[in-house]
Amino acid sequence: MARSQGANIIGLQYGGTGPLVSVLVSKAGGRYRLQSDCFQAMWLVMQELTQRLAAHYRALDAKPGAPAPPDGGRLVVTLQEPLPLQDLFDLIEAHFEARRTERALAATLEGRAQQFRSVQKRLLVRFKDKTPAPLAELDTLMAETYDQLVSLADEEEAAQTATRGAAQALGAGVQLLLQLISAKFGTPDEDVAVLKESLTPTVGHDDAEVGWEEEVEAGLTHLLRSALARNSKEAAAVVPPLAAAKDTQRLRKHLSLVLERLAKGMRLSAPAAPAITPGA
């Protein structure tokens, strides 16, 4: 990361030419603020800043004679604005479209490959025949099919690169959203860990019909039918089997519902049982 400094601001840039993330420090009050034009770029800076500030205040509290920290600790991470769901939805949509484009190109490439093999076999038969029939433009068709194969292979390689980039951006965006959920709702770490199992920031890259979007939608649906169910009717609803999604509408709807219920104080993990003192 490149870095620039001012009196109360530090700017960090990924790779020297990538997104810029700024950390603003208030002149009074000890407040820090993150901002960037790139939503997903903030997750790493936010994580690192939070960890370093937490370690700093732990060291201060460990010093002999240090005053007791206030309720909630000396470090409080908050989000006053609404959760930036639309930024994450844009990343989800970009990744979903990249997956769909890659699958379409792969299917077209496979069709051209089959055509090439078919023409190749017919030409071999003609060449082996002692009295071969006219080629009937089969050689021209083979050359054109070969050119299409090369062009499609280049397009598919570019599509794979685009899908990997979209997957990385989406994974970073999910990481940031999980951090913001904790800051916005005061969600306990154990609940964030449960949510992370369903809303995973690990976005794999493959050309399968069922990918990150379908798996996360199924995980969020399970949460809405179990820990976040409002009544027995919702809990008894059957979760449909995994299948290729036509769009991301259900995923976005279920993610919004999960966050709405977390905002109302619903828990994903059972509260810890109170300790029992022997003889009490």
Q: Are 149 and 113 in contact (CB under 8 A)?
A: yes
Q: What is the pLDDT of residue 206?
A: 67
What's the confidence (pLDDT) of residue 191?
93
Could you tell me which of 213, 223, 222 has the C-alpha nearest to residue 250? 213
How confident is the model at residue 7, as a pLDDT? 62
Residue 93 confidence (pLDDT): 97
Q: Nearest to residue 25, comparing CAs of 8, 11, 10?
A: 8
pLDDT tens readout for residues 131-170: 766 777 888 888 999 999 999 999 999 999 999 999 999 9
Q: Are residues 98 and 166 in contact, defined by beta-carbon separation less than 8 angstroms?
A: yes
| pLDDT at residue 69, rounded to an integer | 63
- Cα angle 109, 159, 17 (rounded to 5 degrees) comes to 160
pLDDT < 70 positions in the chain: 1-7, 29, 66, 68-73, 132-133, 206-207, 270-280
pLDDT at 96 (0 to 100): 96
Look at residue 198 in the predicted model and tell me its pLDDT: 94
pLDDT at res. 73: 62
Domain boundaries, the chain: 2-53, 85-263
